[in-house]
A and B are shown apart, each in its own frame.
Chain A
């Protein structure tokens, strides 16, 4: 067995796992840390349903080997953004705009939007589309997702379009 003890920082907490360092972060989050918000969608980093933030940047957790992550890298999953009863502004906006159908891609969408807003707090609608274009939603809730993200980005998204 090629298990190694790996230390991670997830949602502000230090965690330790014994796992094959080649194991994708997605499955470590789900099977070892009980964080099931990041979903399995494609296993090849093309759909975005497993998106997480590492040091505020968006990564596809199915395509990141857990061994590549440094012990002081800050991983943030959907669970780290807000909880039931204590939603983040983006999470609330997704509800207000019914920005989902089945909801399976939604954690990845919110994490990706969060990553965008951390680097660019007031993106235009075009910037939102560009930043999120690699996240797939088969229910095709795309227009409502853009509306939801734009509403959190403030009036800028709509004004700067004109």
Chain B
């Protein structure tokens, strides 16, 4: 969407802004010079772009030589702020102290799309900020040359200034060069971009580190303490979309200490008061009866998903998948099922809303500030530009904070209250309030393998609420994969690894089944069938790290592998070694090894933290995480009911990083891929350890014991 230059001019005032807008029309040199405004007045509202691929970037150079970088993406522990700081610091050769990175403020930052899909470093960081710095360096050299009346070749950019080559007497700092003008350029994120110079990871510490360890980093809930009252709403006992409050006792509820107001709200009740606990207690009394959901109490996940499924799209079709099975040495059909899971960030969703006439400000913990802005505007029936979302550091998102419920509800409650209100989700709100679970998936797979060990044909039917995962890890000539959409009793929400975790578990378990049916080593079988040669070194690295060639599976110990690719050509492999207690059914992950082809590393500290954490996420998803529900209600209502990985679950983890697949020497991101491959690898390792394939995640002790029991009964497969 082209930037309105007039709007842009109006917004600026004293500093030099470099704005890079996709599709923006400019002069031949890509820059337009205009008069600039005062620090802190930069806005981007009028050229907000709606989708992340059409991003817009801003870097502002102030007269004192300091720089502010703005993006609508947010920090949630993945290290984006650190990565952007590092890229701008190295890109403009400035110390960190001279740089400020502003994230997710809809009045100040461009709309770079929601922070999801492990693409912020690649798209906003590399193709945006790093490339912008390159353009700025070149432009400032040209500018200095014009001013000094020397050819640009006699000058170069260094240490936040333009200096004369071989003659230090020419030295103009960027603050002075930037002097009161604005340069507008265009960058299309879809362009192929090769950096003019290499980036060097200097292993700098995370930017928020000191604030985090001293407890002084302000999250949304830390704002307006003792000032804004708490507002909340009653979580229904049933799935929220299947019930409503039938009778209220507001009088009794009102008597709770610390409560100012109780009122009906939508299908439930809301309250406001000075005490978080008081408001929650009040709400427990406010609703005395709920309508009972009109659907069967019994919930049969697989049956219901199949019964409601309607073909939504053909994901991939080539060759003649219906005929190609004929004559295959192995023709194997299997079904894999995954359960509902919950993001469970440590910080629950939080929003503070203040309404002033037809304007609203919301401070919140969100992965999608611009979606939140639209949602709040719609709720309050005011124009989007009258709403400002100010994003605070997110205390874990994992997909759930792409939703915009909390900002919207805070605005609703603030309007009723007539004052600024803070909404902090209780754990019950977080788990069941709006029931946005990682979707359960039923995957039907059938593959035909030739005598040469090559997969000849595959059909894959995925049945799920939304999205779909990667099906293209292997090079198969005859394929048909389809997505059947099936609305769930518990509603869908995005969660780290999205649908890839489920699909990769199904495909990689099936891959091991095929290898076993052929009597071929599972690593060897993968190497024969991979679509990308770059998977080879990853599998080898994992096998080496875990000592695969020198160890044996069986007798309660097993090693398994999982490979997958994810957005932006990230490739990953993981090996897991597990032990299984055959009497208790408890699985223990003994070691994990991950190899990821993800391009260059911007910051090894934040990458290491993210990837290690993601591997452990895979462990949780494979072994523990399951939201318990029936047709009427969710039984998982607190952190005590939902098993996530903890200290004692974590094995030694070894990681290796590669840059073979593109050799573009650019970062490609890695926030989700390790979850995907680790979960698949662990499932395969457990199957190796006990000699039975598991068709359902998570692999809980009950499922292990059932599997072992079935094995004794002679059947080699259980669900």
Max chain A CB contacts within 10 Å: which of B426, B616, B653? B616
CA of A34 to CA of B210, assembled, Å: 19
Contact indicator B613/A87 (Cβ below 8 Å): no
The answer, yes or no, to whether A59 is at the interface (CB within 8 Å) is no
Please encode chain B, from 673 to 695, with 1 for each CB lying within 8 Å of some chain A CB and 0 for all others: 00000000000000000000000
CB atoms of B210 and A139 under 8 A apart: no
Q: How far is the CA of A49 from the CA of B276 in the complex (A)?
A: 17
Q: Are B212 and A106 in contact (CB under 8 A)?
A: yes
Chain B: interface residue total (CB-CB under 8 A)? 65
Query: Contacts A133-B648, A144-B612: A30 and B225 contacting too (C-beta < 8 A)?
Result: yes
Q: For A81, list chain B residues within 8 Å (CB).
A: 214
In the complex the two chains form, is A140's CB within 8 Å of B213's CB? no
Q: Is the CB of B275 within 8 A of A27?
A: yes
* Contacts of B376-402 to chain A: CB distance below 8 A: 393-396, 398
Within 8 A of B (CB), among A108-136: 110, 129-130, 132-136
| Chain B contacts for A102, CB-based, 8 A | 75-77, 345-347, 393-396
Partner-contacting stretch, out of B15-23, B165-173, B602-610: B602-610
B647 A133 Cβ-Cβ under 8 A: yes
* A-chain residues with CB within 8 Å of residue B617 when the two chains form the complex: 140
Complex Cα gap A99–B347 (Å): 17
Q: Would B209 and A95 count as touching, CB distance under 8 A?
A: yes
Whether a CB of chain A sits under 8 angstroms from the CB of B289 is no
Closest Cβ–Cβ distance, residue B244 to chain A (whole Å): 25
Using Cβ atoms and an 8 Å threshold, which residues of chain A touch B568?
Answer: none
Binary contact track A66-85/B, C-beta < 8 Å → 1, others 0: 00000000000111011111
Are A95 and B346 in touch, CB under 8 angstroms?
no
CA distance A149 to B136 in the complex (A): 43
Taken together as a complex, chains A and B put the C-alpha atoms of A2 and B278 apart, in Å, by 12
* CB–CB A101/B216 < 8 A: no
Cβ of A32 < 8 Å from any Cβ of B?
yes
Smallest CB separation, B365 vs chain A (Å): 9
- Report how many A-B pairs have Cβ atoms within 8 Å: 200
Size class of the contact patch on chain A:
35 or more
A157 interface hit (Cβ, 8 Å): no
B221 sits at the interface (CB 8 A) = yes
Q: With the chains together, A34 CA to B257 CA distance in Å?
A: 21
Whether the pair B348, A44 counts as a contact (CB closer than 8 A) is no
Whether A100 and B394, one on each chain, are in contact in the complex, defined by CB atoms closer than 8 angstroms, is no
**Given A32-B226, A47-B346, A143:B215 Cβ within 8 A:** no
Interface residues of A in 1-58 (CB under 8 A from B): 1-3, 20, 22-24, 27, 30-32, 34, 36-44, 46-47, 49
Q: Which residues of B contact A44 (CB under 8 A)?
A: 427, 638-640
* B398 neighbours in A (Cβ, 8 Å): 138
- Of listed B76, B77, B79, B345, residue having the most chain A CB within 10 A: B77
* Cβ contact within 8 Å between A77 and B215: yes
Contact (A39, B347) CB under 8 Å given A102-B393, A103-B395: yes
Interface string of B592-619 (1 = CB under 8 A from A): 0000000000000110111011101100
> With A and B bound together, what is the CA distance between A88 and B207 in angstroms?
18
Do residues B211 and A84 form an inter-chain contact, with CB atoms below 8 A?
yes
Question: Does B650 have its Cβ within 8 Å of any Cβ on chain A?
Answer: yes
- Across the interface, do A95 and B427 meet the contact criterion of CB distance under 8 Å? no
Indicate if the CB atoms of B77 and A103 lie closer than 8 Å.
yes
Check A23–B275 contact: CB distance below 8 A: yes
Contacts of B205 in A (CB 8 A): 95-96, 98
Question: Does A137 make an interface contact (CB < 8 A)?
Answer: yes
Q: Name which residue of chain A comes closest to B79, CB basis.
A: A101
Q: Please state if A47 and B650 are interface contacts (CB–CB under 8 Å).
A: no
Contacts of B427 in A (CB 8 A): 41-44
B613 and A83 within 8 A (CB):
no
Which residue on chain B has the smallest CB distance to residue A78? B215
Q: Is B424 at the interface (CB under 8 A from chain A)?
A: yes
Q: Do residues A132 and B214 form an inter-chain contact, with CB atoms below 8 A? A: no
Q: Taking CB as reference atom, which chain B residue is nearest A77?
A: B215
User: Does A91 make an interface contact (CB < 8 A)?
Assistant: yes
From A79, A85, A101, A138, contact of B215 by CB (8 A):
A79
Contact across chains for B221 and A39 when beta carbons are under 8 A apart? yes
| B646 beta carbon closer than 8 Å to chain A | yes
Could you jot down 10 A-B contacts, CB within 8 Å? A2-B257, A41-B639, A95-B213, A98-B209, A103-B393, A133-B646, A139-B396, A139-B609, A139-B610, A143-B650
| 4 nearest CB pairs, A to B | A37-B215, A102-B77, A104-B395, A101-B77
